[in-house]
Amino acid sequence: MNSTAFNAYKTRYRAAIRHVLADSEKGRLDEAGFPAYSSPNLLINWLFWQRLRIAMNHIERSAPYENILDFGCGSGVMLPFLAEQSKHVTAFDVDLHPLEKVKQHIPLAANVQTLDANQTPISKLPQKSFDLINALDVLEHVQDLPQTLSELMNLLKPNGQLLVSGPTENFLYQIGRKIAGPEYSGAYHERGIDEIKRELHRIARVEHIATLYQPVPLFEVFSAR
């Protein structure tokens, strides 16, 4: 995605998120990343959107796809893009409320299906059916990481890939959270990206994509096959 298209995408989604936040209970949408994606703080806003741009650029290299799973879709911030890259997209989350709110401003494309993880667990999804599983900033939240990763890898077609991003949760990252404000507390995080990567190394081939940014690494993006 070129700079013009990405900036237009970002502007549209930021506007929708700000509309939703204005009409929502304070703190209700923090876990879905609403404060970060709409933050007036230029550094925070740039950092969070830059992760998405890196992921988008990586996804585009292997497009088009037949079937994509957006695992932990949150606000649905990636869904308009994913819908353009694949014949079918499944938006999957334990809390679809954020997505339902954003849909009032940015309707889902016709090729996007939503699934409530409380009603349809990962184990019920068809195995070896997805070309790509998008798991951005979500695996730090899950309770049973080994089981979740095993189930996700079983959903991939041969040569399919799991795309992952997440926070380092290092000392400098924690300081940044405190400076940014209470909505960035991360109290709902179970782990940092290093633990996720170590666990994936046991069952898959992991490919580093990007670190944001040296010498102060705050986020990592990588894939697993």
Instruction: Tell me the per-residue pLDDT of 113-162, one tens digit each, with 9 for 90 and over.
Output: 999 999 999 999 999 999 999 999 999 989 999 999 999 999 999 999 99
More confident residue, 24 or 184: 24
**Does 71 have pLDDT greater than 50?**
yes
DSSP state of 184: G
Q: What total of structural domains would you count in the chain?
A: 1
The enclosing domain of 111 has a CATH number of 3.40.50.150
What's the token pair of residue 89? 């997209």
Whole-number average pLDDT of the chain: 88
Average pLDDT value for residue range 62-79: 97
User: Which range of residues forms the domain containing residue 80?
Assistant: 3-224
Q: Is 38 exposed, middle or buried (0-12, 13-18, 19+ CB in 10 A)?
A: buried
pLDDT band at 178 (very low <50, low <70, confident <90, very high): very low
pLDDT band at 27 (very low <50, low <70, confident <90, very high): low
What's the token pair of residue 168? 């380092």
- pLDDT for 42 equals 80
- pLDDT for 157 equals 98
Q: Are strands 219-224 and 156-167 parallel, antiparallel or unpaired?
A: antiparallel
Q: What percent of the chain has pLDDT over 70?
A: 89
- pLDDT for 180 equals 46
**Does 7 have pLDDT greater than 90?**
yes
Q: What percent of the chain has pLDDT over 90?
A: 69
User: Which residues, in sequence order, are bridge partners of residue 133?
Assistant: 69, 162
Name the pTM for this structure: 0.90
- pLDDT for 185 equals 44
- pLDDT for 183 equals 47
The torsion angle over the Cα atoms of residues 161, 118, 16 and 25, rounded to 10 degrees, is -140
User: Which residues, in sequence order, are bridge partners of residue 113?
Assistant: 90
CA distance 196 to 108: 30
Name, of 4-8, 38-42, 45-49, 214-218, the range with top average pLDDT: 4-8
**Does 184 have pLDDT greater than 80?**
no
Average pLDDT value for residue range 10-26: 88
